[in-house]
Amino acid sequence: MIRMLSMLCSLLIFTFFSTAILAAAQSNKSESDRKALLCFKSGILLDLDGVLSSWMDDSLNFCSWRGVTCSSSYPSRVVHLELSSSHLTGRISGCIGNLTSLSQINLTDNHLSGAIPDELGKLPVLRTLLLAANNLEGDIPDSLGTSLSLSYVNLANNTLTGVIPDSLASSPSLNMLILSRNNLSGQIPAKLFSNSSKLTIAWLVLSHYLFTTCHHSHTLAWVTIALLGRYHLTLVTLYQSSRF
């Protein structure tokens, strides 16, 4: 009898400490999200509309911050960042890569400059990345192509340079890619038009682009390529499905 009571006490103590450790770990994840959001805010130099005014260091309830959507499960994690058309000026901090439950980021139509953080492509469940209509520059990160979750990427209307990474053209998950109105150069990866590509829509407006290796593909629902010359515009539609 005494032995059974001893075993029961040990089990209760083990359960108590296990629960406490689990709760602490979950709390740390939420705190990590709060710190990541504040770190992202630190990269914003000008917030004319005061969109981030609720993002305060002494505020623990980050799920109520404007533009932030959290999961309904416990602990609450940031799953959606919606700050489009918010007149934000600054840079996208790599700290955003610590928001590991993010599934959608929409920073369209702001005044964000600098490079696209490599950390964005490493977010494990990110499906939608919308960064169009900013002043982003530099190369497209290879990590966006190696992501196993990204399905929709819109980087249109920026000042991105360099080439389309081969990894992006052969992404295992990407369904829609929009790169129009950038300063990309080089050759369009042949993989973009291969039967193995999962892309259903690719809208590319590429300045001074060479496309000697382009091929038709039945997997591509619509591919439009525009070559922007200095004084003229040549539009080439490579393939258009009857579904559109």
pLDDT bracket for residue 59 (50, 70, 90):
confident
What totals of helices (H) and strands (E) does the chain contain, helices first?
A: 3, 16
| Residue whose structure tokens are 């591919």 | 223
146-178 per-position pLDDT tens digit:
899 999 999 999 999 998 998 888 888 888 889
pLDDT computed for residue 1 by the predictor: 57
pLDDT computed for residue 42 by the predictor: 97
Tell me which CATH code domain 2-240 carries. Answer: 3.80.10.10
Half-sphere exposure of 49 (CA within 13 A, CB side): 12
Tokens of 84: 């489009």
Rounded to whole angstroms, how far apart are CA atoms 161 and 138? 5
Rounded to whole angstroms, how far apart are CA atoms 32 and 77? 9
Beta-bridged to residue 204, according to DSSP, are 225
Please tell me what DSSP assigns to residue 140.
P
pLDDT computed for residue 47 by the predictor: 98
Rounded to whole angstroms, how far apart are CA atoms 152 and 150? 6
Bond before 75 cis per omega within 30 degrees: yes
**Does residue 40 carry a pLDDT above 90?**
yes
Each domain of the chain, given as residue ranges in start order, spans 2-240
174-229 per-position pLDDT tens digit:
888 899 889 888 777 777 766 556 676 666 655 545 443 344 444 455 555 544 43
Q: Which of the residue ranges 28-37, 141-150, 220-229 has the most confident prediction, judged by mean pLDDT?
A: 141-150
Query: 0.85 exceeded by the pTM?
Result: no
Length, in residues, of the chain:
244
Please tell me what DSSP assigns to residue 241.
-
Tokens of 168: 């992006």
N- to C-terminal Cα separation, the chain: 77
Rounded to whole angstroms, how far apart are CA atoms 200 and 175? 5
Q: Which of 21-25, 27-31, 40-44, 120-124 has the lowest mean pLDDT?
A: 21-25
